[in-house]
Amino acid sequence: MKLIKWIKSLFNKNISNDSVSNDSLSMHHVIFSNKTLLNYMKSKTLEKIEALTNEEKNMTFNRLWFQVCFHADFHEACKIYPEDIKFSKINIKGYPTLFVKMPKPLFNSEAFFIAVVVTKPAISLKEENDEYRYFVLEKAEDSDSKNSTFFCEWQSENNFTLDDGPKPNKRAFLKHVELQL
């Protein structure tokens, strides 16, 4: 147990604004939204949505966060706090959906929100994979506006920018997701 607390302490240090550079994105932020969570959802998606939204969610999330830290540069200061990532289970057009609110992005390509929408649950135990869609609202560089976003969808290992995204608020993002279904 002491080892787990020590590992967590390595990645949960207080970070002053001085240590956050404006010229690079947070690898922890990007790895979580564009690699770790994406890979985690590839099989038994409905079960995994439950695991991230039930009373034992902290244990599940801690395993995911350990993977994030493993893939991030060990020497890079973690610019986000894992406890600021919020999960909730919702329905969009009757489809079970994992909604993820990320910490406010500081750099381009970091996510505001993620929605994992299960469009076709596996019918039998032989089918491990539910069909799902993985949407992300990312911060985009725009010299005219602080609210510039990209609305993206991940398909397999590829990220497709669908269009300029909506304002970075939950309601607008979920409406945009709904229009894709």
pLDDT digits (tens, 9 = 90+) for 84-95: 999 999 999 999
The residue among 106 and 132 whose pLDDT is bigger is 132
Helices (H), the chain: 2-11, 27-31, 37-40, 45-53, 57-71, 170-180
Q: Cα(174)–Cα(77) distance, rounded to whole angstroms? A: 31
Q: Cα(56)–Cα(90) distance, rounded to whole angstroms? A: 18
Q: How confident is the model at residue 6 (pLDDT cuts 50, 70, 90)?
A: very low
Q: Cα(136)–Cα(153) distance, rounded to whole angstroms? A: 6
Single pTM value for the model: 0.81
pLDDT digits (tens, 9 = 90+) for 17-55: 333 344 455 788 888 998 899 999 988 899 999 999 998
Q: How many CB atoms lie within 10 A of CB 19?
A: 10
Does residue 79 have a pLDDT over 80?
no
The dihedral built from the CA positions of residue 105, 148, 166 and 41, taken in this order, carries a sign that is: negative
Q: How confident is the model at residue 78 (pLDDT cuts 50, 70, 90)?
A: confident
DSSP code for 110: -
At position 178, the amino acid (one-letter code) is: E
Sheet holding 149-155, edge to edge: 86-92, 95-101, 111-120, 131-139, 149-155, 158-164
Domain ranges in the chain are 2-12+24-180
**Rounded mean pLDDT of the chain?**
80
| Contact indicator for 149, 112 with CB cutoff of 8 Å | yes
DSSP code for 34: I
Does residue 152 have a pLDDT over 60?
yes
